[in-house]
């Protein structure tokens, strides 16, 4: 399509020059105008149309010289020499310009390929580093509760064990078993997300009831840590009945609140939602340790944690936020975080408000 446009434009220029030449040469009787005006399509076609333009320039130049001989056999030798020199300079300049342009394109292409390769290499190295840290942490997370379970099961076999010690060991085994189960559930969930096996099951759900249920579920745990847990429901009971995937919404909220409890040593945690346009915007705010700026940029990425150090203070496989992000996107919303290190965190996510 572009070549056709160029052909039409060049043809119109040539036609214009022919008509102008006819007017100057035959009507006004100005012989030199013939050669001078024909320089225009030679320059335009040779520079604009790259290699094809060289052939057009040569053709027009030959036509120009022949026309000069035909129109006026008495033309001066100096005019012919001047025209020939101009033709040689125009064609040579065009050829050199095209060669320089080709070389520049090749260099630019090579530069971009090197840049892409460099970026790909850096991403690959970063991915490998994160995966290695994740696998090491995962090994630590699985081994720790397993060691606790096996160790205290052995202690329960002691013949002189009293009832109080027995109950203490059973609670530790129960806690370690739940921790291990959470890790396994996270691994299964993220595997299902990767394989595309998860489906969205839309049904009617009362958001207010779900928020209140989550509040009552975590209230005992926050009270034990001395954290003030509050919630806020903006809509009335009738307005709070929406069509969504109840299980995924529950998983998102519980993951965010678990993280808030884990990283909050004192202060408060507040969660709830509000209606904004055609979406419900949920939030979980805490007064915990916060997230540093560098980590916040990658907090929702796979195999990423607030800290990838083996000596980190907080337990967890680091898959909860990644799973939450996948679930939010499956429901048609988005998720983001706002945090300042040492001043707490605020997590927000949206889901469509469909009644």
Q: What is the pTM of this model?
A: 0.58
| Spatial distance between the Cα atoms of 79 and 82, rounded to a whole number of angstroms | 5
- The reply to whether 79 falls in a domain is yes
Instruction: Indicate the number of domains in the chain.
Output: 2
Domain contains 11 = yes
pLDDT at 33 over 50: no
Same domain, 211 and 87: no
Regarding whether 208 and 83 lie in a shared domain, the answer is no
Alpha-carbon span 60 to 43, nearest angstrom: 10
Whether residue 48 contacts residue 2, with contact meaning beta carbons closer than 8 Å, is answered with no
pLDDT at 353: 92
- CA separation (Å) from 64 to 15, 79, 179, 338? 14, 12, 90, 73
> Over the range 69-82, which residues count as b (16 or more CB within 10 Å of their CB) and which as e?
eeeeeebeeeeeee
195 or 227, greater pLDDT = 227
With cut-offs at 50, 70 and 90, classify the pLDDT of residue 14. low
CATH of the domain at 299: 3.30.565.10
- Could you tell me if residue 251 is inside a domain? yes
Is residue 95 located within the same domain as residue 234?
no
Note whether residue 154 is domain-resident.
Answer: no
Does the pLDDT of residue 314 top 80, yes or no? no
322, part of any domain: yes
DSSP letter string, 327-341: HHHHTT--EEEEE-T
Domain boundary among 87, 109, 131: 109
Q: Are 274 and 207 in contact (CB under 8 A)?
A: no
* Chain-centre distance for alpha carbon 274: 28
Q: Are the beta carbons of 227 and 269 closer than 8 angstroms?
A: yes
210 and 348 part of one domain: yes
Residue with tokens 């790259």: 50
- Boundaries of domain holding 304: 203-352
Note whether 325 and 219 are same-domain residues. Answer: yes
Q: Look at residue 134 and tell me whether its pLDDT is greater than 60.
A: yes
Residue 10 pLDDT:
57
Residue 271: strand, helix, or coil:
strand
Question: Between 200 and 95, whose confidence is greater?
Answer: 200
Of 83, 109, 135, the residue at which a domain comes to its end is: 109
Give the Cα-Cα-Cα angle 21, 23, 26 (nearest 5 degrees): 90
The more confidently predicted of residues 346 and 56 is 346
Residue where a domain terminates, one of 109, 141, 169: 109
What digits encode the pLDDT tens for the residues 137-171? 667 667 777 887 888 888 888 888 788 888 888 88
Q: What sign does the CA torsion over 95, 97, 102, 107 have?
A: positive
Q: Please indicate, yes or no, if residue 52 is contained in any of the structural domains.
A: yes
Same domain, 237 and 348: yes
Q: How far is CA 346 from CA 202, 224, 240, 269, 336, in A?
A: 27, 22, 23, 10, 9
Cα-based torsion angle of the residue sequence 150, 154, 157, 162 in order, rounded to the nearest 10 degrees = -90
Q: Is residue 124 part of a domain?
A: no
Averaged pLDDT of the chain: 75
**207 with 314, same domain?**
yes
Domain assignment present for 50: yes
């Amino acid at each position: 399509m572009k070549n056709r446009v160029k052909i039409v434009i060049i043809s119109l220029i040539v036609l214009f020059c022919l008509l102008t030449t006819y007017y100057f040469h035959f009507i006004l009787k100005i012989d030199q105008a013939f050669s001078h005006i024909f320089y225009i399509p030679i320059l335009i076609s040779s520079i604009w149309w790259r290699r094809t333009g060289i052939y057009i320039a040569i053709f027009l130049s030959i036509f120009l010289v022949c026309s000069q001989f035909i129109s006026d056999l008495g033309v001066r030798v100096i005019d012919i020499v001047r025209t020939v020199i101009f033709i040689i300079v125009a064609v040579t300049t065009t050829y050199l310009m095209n060669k320089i342009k080709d070389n520049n394109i090749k260099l630019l292409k090579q530069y971009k390929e090197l840049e892409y390769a460099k970026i790909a290499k850096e991403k690959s190295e970063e991915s490998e580093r994160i995966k290695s840290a994740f696998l090491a942490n995962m090994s630590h997370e699985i081994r720790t509760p397993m060691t606790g379970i096996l160790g205290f099961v052995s202690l329960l076999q002691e013949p002189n064990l009293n009832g109080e010690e027995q109950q203490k060991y059973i609670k530790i085994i129960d806690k370690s078993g739940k921790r291990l189960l959470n890790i396994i559930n996270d691994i299964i969930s993220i595997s299902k997300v990767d394989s595309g096996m998860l489906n969205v099951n839309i049904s009617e759900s009362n958001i207010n009831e779900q928020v209140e249920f989550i509040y009552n579920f975590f209230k005992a745990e926050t009270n034990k840590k001395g954290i003030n847990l509050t919630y806020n429901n903006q809509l009335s009971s009738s307005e709070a009945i929406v069509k969504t995937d109840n299980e995924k919404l529950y998983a998102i909220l519980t993951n965010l609140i678990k993280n808030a409890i884990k990283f909050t040593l004192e202060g408060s945690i507040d969660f709830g939602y509000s209606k904004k346009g055609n979406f419900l915007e949920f939030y979980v705010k805490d007064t915990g340790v916060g997230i540093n700026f560098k980590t916040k940029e990658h907090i929702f990425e796979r195999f990423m944690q607030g800290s990838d150090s083996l000596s980190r203070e907080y337990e967890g496989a680091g898959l909860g936020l990644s799973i939450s992000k996948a679930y939010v996107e499956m429901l048609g919303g988005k998720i983001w975080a706002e945090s300042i290190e040492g001043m707490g965190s605020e997590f927000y996510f949206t889901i469509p408000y469909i009644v």
